[in-house]
Chains A and B, each alone.
Chain A
């Protein structure tokens, strides 16, 4: 088990290095798609770390991502702070927020958690608009940096790799084992001595941390930011879809889900711009009814069948 774990890590490292060359070989159009894909890989990987083992569907990605983008924008625009400092602060804020949300909801059943995260991005958007309109003055924010698209891509790659490595490390730790037990049977988990609430909250906080950092890193891409446009409920759903499409049972599932989805999405939103919402709905239904364990789960099923056929 431990050897195959290192093999997996080695493969991931090779892939990450290969991915590092993308900006050098792709033209601007493909690089821009790659940035989007890398953004989702980072978000989905951190999502799977928490939601994969626990089966708690988090729709908070949009909120954390928004915190990253908004704090970077407002800090740089209104207070002349450096990008790096604001990125760090936003990660801290999102981590704390995730901890508070976790403390309020993760002690209870999973449904409360899903419901709480469902409207979260929208609610924070409302709050931010209100604060912005009444106290800070309503106007757009500028994120002016020297970062090129390639820089953003590399930063996202580093984040994705970091999330993957952390996930890999946690999977092999006592915390990861605890989460697998919680995902199986929470009552048993408590009765073998696991502090289930703490384990879940800690993991959820890492999701918040990465969500905000991704939001912060991608902010310079848009240079002009409407305070409330970064809190996008839709993003939360995209993360869930891509992660589940790939398969939440494996840490590398998102990579398998994000790449084809981003390409198809690009095509659909160009060809059928008015049908994108319906398309998302159909993919959700496809996942539930046809691919309940994602593409990875289906591949593994096929692999098992082939192996059994060989005997």
Chain B
């Protein structure tokens, strides 16, 4: 079966934790080379959605497909091997490994498997790409927060993902770091990568995303270009609450 052109499609996905419905019948798709933002107030189910795409959780019902083939039954490592790479909301580096080894980790087992010299060279290229090559042999504990995030991004890029998931990658950065961060994601966009990002920084959403999906209480309440979506009264209400709107 030929797929309909979307790199990733989410079809009627629901996730329940006991009695709580975290994600309710979500439906959206992401085209190739598209950068899509998932936004919404805290607790609206964005990260749960990301976790289901990357295989951390399985959907209670519904399905997620990549290039037309279903990935939502697969374990996380299999989804990674198919070419979905992710960063974590709270950056997760491997503390006892060096910066370079952290990035090699992404190159060895990922979508394309490399080993030895080849993996090392590739990791160096990725570190260079995020501007961290000078720190290759440093222990990760010596890195600043933005640098840790850059190394994590390099690790994900080292796996040559077809689809990149960035979970609040810009959160917790100070204004100068934020600029560097947005610059980096801009570069990814220029390379024509398929990216899904969960983000609270609205300026970044406006300047980076082709399209936005807005979630509130687990439901999709709007979808469209960032400018249109962010002026939608229902979206404003979701963010600010009824009384303030």
Q: Is the CB of B105 within 8 A of A190?
A: no
Within 8 A of B (CB), among A134-189: 174, 177-178, 180-181, 183-185, 187-189
Q: Is the CB of A191 within 8 A of B54?
A: yes
Q: Is the CB of B94 within 8 A of A185?
A: yes
Within 8 A of B (CB), among A11-65: none
B153 to chain A, nearest CB (A): 13
Q: Is the CB of B56 within 8 A of A177?
A: no
Is B142 an interface residue, CB under 8 A from the partner? no
The proximity string for B residues 130-165 relative to A, scoring 1 for CB distances below 8 Å and 0 otherwise, is 000000000000000000000000010001000000
Name B86's closest neighbour in chain A (CB-CB). A191
Is A195 an interface residue, CB under 8 A from the partner? yes
Contact of A184 among B75, B80, B94 (CB under 8 A): B94
**What range describes how many residues of B lie at the interface?**
20 to 34
Is B39 an interface residue, CB under 8 A from the partner? no
B104 to chain A, nearest CB (A): 8
Q: Is the CB of A174 within 8 A of B97?
A: no
Within 8 A of A (CB), among B71-88: 75-78, 80-81, 85-86, 88
Name B76's closest neighbour in chain A (CB-CB). A190
Q: Which residues of A contact B92 (CB under 8 A)?
A: 185, 187-188
B27 to chain A, nearest CB (A): 25
Q: Is the CB of B155 within 8 A of A192?
A: yes
Q: Is the CB of B105 within 8 A of A181?
A: yes
Q: Is the CB of B96 within 8 A of A178?
A: no
Q: Is the interface of A mostly helix, strand, loop or mixed?
A: helix
Q: Which residues of A contact B86 (CB under 8 A)?
A: 191
Give complex CA distance A83, B75 in Å: 44
Within 8 A of A (CB), among B18-44: none
The proximity string for B residues 81-119 relative to A, scoring 1 for CB distances below 8 Å and 0 otherwise, is 100011010001111110000001110111100010000
Q: Which residues of A contact B155 (CB under 8 A)?
A: 192
Are A174 and B56 CB-contacts (below 8 A) given A180-B97, A184-B97, A192-B159? no
B139 to chain A, nearest CB (A): 12
Within 8 A of A (CB), among B203-240: none
Number of A residues near B (Cβ < 8 Å) is 18
B48 to chain A, nearest CB (A): 15
Q: Is the CB of A195 within 8 A of B77?
A: yes
Contact of A192 among B75, B78, B80 (CB under 8 A): B80
Q: Which residues of A contact B77 (CB under 8 A)?
A: 189-191, 193-196
Q: Is the CB of A177 within 8 A of B54?
A: no
Give complex CA distance A190, B84 in Å: 12
Within 8 A of A (CB), among B47-75: 54-56, 75
Q: Is the CB of A193 within 8 A of B94?
A: no
Q: Which residues of B contact A181 (CB under 8 A)?
A: 94, 97, 105
Q: Is the CB of B76 within 8 A of A191?
A: yes
Contact of B159 among A174, A184, A185, A193 (CB under 8 A): A193
Q: Which residues of A contact B75 (CB under 8 A)?
A: 190, 195
Give complex CA distance A14, B55 in Å: 48
Give complex CA distance A191, B94 in Å: 12
Contact of B111 among A174, A180, A193 (CB under 8 A): A193
Name B84's closest neighbour in chain A (CB-CB). A191
Name B95's closest neighbour in chain A (CB-CB). A184
Q: Which residues of B contact A187 (CB under 8 A)?
A: 56, 88, 92
Are A177 and B108 CB-contacts (below 8 A) given A193-B80, A195-B77, A196-B77? yes
* Partner-B contacts on A (CB < 8 A): 174, 177-178, 180-181, 183-185, 187-196
* 26 A-B pairs in the complex with CB atoms less than 8 angstroms apart: A174-B109, A177-B105, A180-B94, A180-B96, A181-B94, A184-B97, A185-B94, A187-B92, A188-B93, A188-B94, A190-B55, A190-B75, A191-B54, A191-B76, A191-B80, A192-B105, A192-B106, A193-B77, A193-B109, A193-B110, A193-B159, A194-B77, A195-B75, A195-B77, A195-B78, A196-B77
Beyond contacts A191-B54, A192-B155: 20 other A-B pairs, Cβ-Cβ < 8 A, are: A174-B115, A177-B105, A181-B94, A181-B105, A183-B96, A184-B94, A185-B92, A187-B92, A188-B105, A191-B80, A192-B80, A192-B105, A192-B109, A192-B110, A192-B159, A193-B77, A193-B110, A194-B77, A195-B75, A195-B77
Smallest CB-CB A-B distances: 4 pairs = A193-B109, A184-B94, A193-B80, A190-B76
